[in-house]
Structure 1
Amino acid sequence: MTAASIPSGAAPGQPDVQRLSSRDNPLLVQLRRLARDPAAYRKAGRVWLEGEHLCSALLTRGLRPLQAVITEAAWETGGALHDLARAAPQVRVLPAALFDGLSGLESPAPLGYVWALPEAGAIAPQAASLVLDRVQDAGNVGSMLRSAAAFGVGQVLALKGTAALWSPKVLRSGMGAHFGLRLIEGLAPEALQALAVPLIGTSLGDDSVALPLARVAQPCAWVMGHEGQGVDAALLARCAQRVRIPQPGGEESLNVAAATAICLYESVRQGAAD
């Protein structure tokens, strides 16, 4: 038997709590796939959120998981993790050794949520946006989502070739930013024609304007490019503005996540000055 109900005398409306004891349980098989394959969420329609921070961030946004998965020790001890688990309609309790097999962390967390992958929806034409052009490093992508959320850019559009937005590494780097953003991925450059706001591209070319001197349109869509190649030339040619970040220290270029934070902050600064 792979699952057994845990007698709890639960009243109606309390979560369905079951204990899992086999690594071949279908839920655990699916979660191992979600934890190891960056694109598995697309087929499964599910996202694996590991750790107390991501679980708390989901609830803070008024969202609810499908299931909580928690170790026996964390469930039986009570406290904050136990309470987070009880926020889900279903709770699955398992030995620490089984939970470790689901984890993508060096030090596995004792709690995770299964959450339904949200529908991407259509591009919001008037929304302040961040466009990711083939940004491949998951850590960079997650940090860029955090900057978007922090500076009020509510829509992120990822072109084909960008790291999977809901992959475990991007989720961990995003630290909960995903839950407050409209995220659309797998787009062709032509899809950006749906935007009614101007595109602003980052470039080191001679036709770019130093960011403090550039008058940034409000709202706009910032286009940030591949870590090594920058913004695609054809896409850059479509941008209404091209800007560069001055680097008096003489470095060749900034990390794309750092550059994103600077550009989005400048948008906020200029908007507040109007």
Structure 2
Amino acid sequence: MSVDEVSHVTSKDNPLLKELRKLAHDPGAYRKAGRIWLEGDHLCRAARERGVRPAVAVFAESLWPAARHEWAGAAPKTVVLADALLAGVSGLESPAPMGFVLDLPARPAVARRSPTVVLDRLQDAGNVGSILRSAAAFGFAQVIALKGTAALWAPKVLRAGMGAHFGLRLIEGVETEVLDALEVPMVATSSHRGDWLHRAELPFPCAWLMGHEGQGVSAALEARAARHVRIAQPGGEESLNVAAAAAICLYASAAGADSRAAGRL
């Protein structure tokens, strides 16, 4: 298809529209379809900036004339939909006028010495996406989501991740035994034991263990940890949201590694 060739869709029964509806509303549909729906300019740009080329680029009819110059040729197939049809697909309160369909990446092998975040049965899509953002921001290039964790490529996780997915090595739906391949120490947070985070000298690279919102890290997984740390909460709250705790811990790791590196210069 040349950059000037596009397909215009006007029927609500078009097979692509049926696929997009499933991908936009069913968190696990991408696993069966082998394709991911990215909705909105921000996610599409984030994917493109990381060198990800979509299988299909989708535009609302009203946006396409203005978007054509920038986005023509972005994908091997470009589809222009009537605005009402694209809005009917959307999972957003304010539907976006463009999106990408990506082929689901193959599951990569575990990078043995990569700074890693392990997600243990986290349920909330917003928490998972937020942790992916923190991982990408603080140099934790690999995220391993154990079985029972919210689907990493689900629409709500993608939106909360704000493009972080495309800078990370993502391994999901695996059993705890996969962690046997890691050659970095594991660190777990605890509300009742371990060193205070602000005083601890943290290993880097390492693998941070982040657990279920209510139950925390499982006992079996916690037993694998080489270190346990707790976050000081002078305000007296019982616990922190897991995404907030993850951001604090990953920042502490990154800051400590930078300080040690600077000290060796």
Cα 1:82–1:254 shift into 2, 3 Å: farther
Q: State the TM-score, normalizing by the size of structure 1.
A: 0.92
Residue 159 of structure 1 deviates from its aligned partner by: 0.6
Cα 1:85–1:107 shift into 2, 3 Å: farther
Aligned match of 1:178 in 149, 165, 168?
A: 165
CA distance in 2, matches of 1:201, 1:134: 14
Equivalent pairs, count: 260
CA distance in 1, matches of 2:202, 2:221: 18
Matches within 5 A, 1:239-258: 239-258=225-244
Aligned partner of 1:213 in structure 2 is: 199
Unaligned runs of 5+ in 1: 1-11
Matches within 5 A, 1:56-75: 56-75=45-64
Aligned match of 2:147 in 143, 151, 160?
A: 160
CA distance in 1, matches of 2:190, 2:176: 17
CA distance in 2, matches of 1:247, 1:36: 38
Q: Deviations over 1:136-167 (max 9, x none)?
A: 10000000000000001000000111100000
Code of the residue aligned with 1:269 in structure 2: it is: A
1:49 and 1:168 in contact (8 A); partners too: yes
Residue 16 of structure 1 deviates from its aligned partner by: 3.5
1:16 and 1:89 in contact (8 A); partners too: no
Q: Deviations over 1:177-227 (max 9, x none)?
A: 000100000111121111010110011123x11101222111000001111
CA distance in 2, matches of 1:52, 1:197: 37
CA distance in 1, matches of 2:20, 2:111: 32
Unaligned runs of 5+ in 2: 261-265
% same residue: 61
Q: Secondary structure at the match of 1:178?
A: helix
Residue 82 of structure 1 deviates from its aligned partner by: 5.7
Cα 1:140–1:181 shift into 2, 3 Å: same
Q: Secondary structure at the match of 1:119?
A: coil
Aligned partner of 2:108 in structure 1 is: 121
2:3 and 2:72 in contact (8 A); partners too: no
1:55 and 1:84 in contact (8 A); partners too: no
Q: Deviations over 1:5-24 (max 9, x none)?
A: xxxxxxx7425301001111
Aligned partner of 1:92 in structure 2 is: 79
Aligned partner of 2:23 in structure 1 is: 34
List structure 1 segments (4+ residues) > 3 angstroms apart after TM superposition: none
CA RMSD, 1 decimal: 1.3
1:56 and 1:84 in contact (8 A); partners too: no
2:110 and 2:182 in contact (8 A); partners too: yes
